[in-house]
Amino acid sequence: MATITTPPQSEVPRMANGHATPVTNLHELITESPNEASQGFDTKSALEIARIINHEDAKVAAAVKKALPEIALVIDAVARSLRDGGRLIYIGAGSSGRIAALDSCECPPYFSNSPQQIQYIMAGGPKALASPVEVNEDSEELGQRDIARRRPTRKDVVIGLSASGRTPYVVSAVAYARARGAKTACITCNQNAPLSGAADIAIVAEVGPEVISGSTRMKAATAQKMITNMITTGAMTRLGYVYENLMVNVHMQNSKLVERGIGILMRACNVDRETAVRTIKSAGRSVPVALVMLKANVDKPEAVRRLARSDGNVRRAIEDTVMDL
């Protein structure tokens, strides 16, 4: 079950009084435990292997569901941060770091946000995305150094990802960011982990033992991907970069995305293709501007003014109301 932790008394992460002692022995972690469902795994046929993995993967959504209250807190924290000029900074190592990088990199083409708004820090640097540099994850000093380079402030949200919840690189980075006033959260798959003690909000998805013991690139990574999807999609939606369930802030950089933008306008405004294309052109190829023009029956300058007043929130720009988070 997910928990909300209390602030640490120092930069060294500790659990608050009354909480269980952090689990630091790797062999005690549930993600490292043998999985009875996959006993004799190496003797199975291809279909049996696929069935076992599929059966275990089906447990991930239920584990994430238990953490929804904490995920919601993080969604609102990120939305407030981005609205106020802050950043979301993910930090992770190994598979967790790669999940963080993936979510960070996928946001700009879908929501047209600046790459500076949602960033990632990977233990070992960008080269570790393709070539493992796992030794870096054991260094508290490197974790503090890498997050210090981003100069976290009270405006920022820093989220540490670690399936075990005990990765020194990530724990020290989150503790450092928190000590400097940033709002912090973590995504882990083990209860009572040191990382939970380092963060303001702990999102814990207990997915249980992996099909291959300790292979947290499987269920644990799937849970982390689901959660990061929720956080950024939820935050962008709260900011108004989604209208109804349409990706109206799509960045039209290729033919597929241009067609998506046209389709969104046709669907949202119930207009024909010719009208959608003409309006998008007159809106400077901006779907949000075109949408406000059609929905509010205003010209481009007024649509731009409304979007500026609403901080880019499309629905509020159409209704011309003040944003409140």
Alpha carbon separation from 71 to 4, 65, 77, 144 (Å, rounded): 11, 9, 10, 25
SS3 state of residue 203: strand
SS3 state of residue 69: helix
User: Which contacts (CB < 8 Å, 24+ apart) does range 74-77 have?
Assistant: 74/157, 74/159, 74/185, 74/201, 74/203, 74/231, 75/230, 75/231, 75/234, 75/235, 75/238, 76/235, 76/238, 76/325, 77/157, 77/183, 77/185, 77/201
User: Which contacts (CB < 8 Å, 24+ apart) does range 287-296 have?
Assistant: 287/248, 287/249, 287/250, 287/252, 287/261, 288/248, 288/249, 288/312, 288/314, 288/317, 290/265, 291/243, 291/248, 291/264, 291/265, 291/318, 292/317, 292/318, 294/265, 294/269, 295/268, 295/269, 296/320
Beta strands in 11-102 (DSSP E): 88-92
Active site residues: 106, 137
Beta strands in 169-296 (DSSP E): 183-188, 201-204
Looking at the DSSP assignment, which residues form a beta bridge with residue 3?
202
Q: Rounded distance, CA 313 to CA 83, Å?
A: 10
**Per-residue DSSP letters for 170-190?**
HHHHHHHHHHTT-EEEEEESS
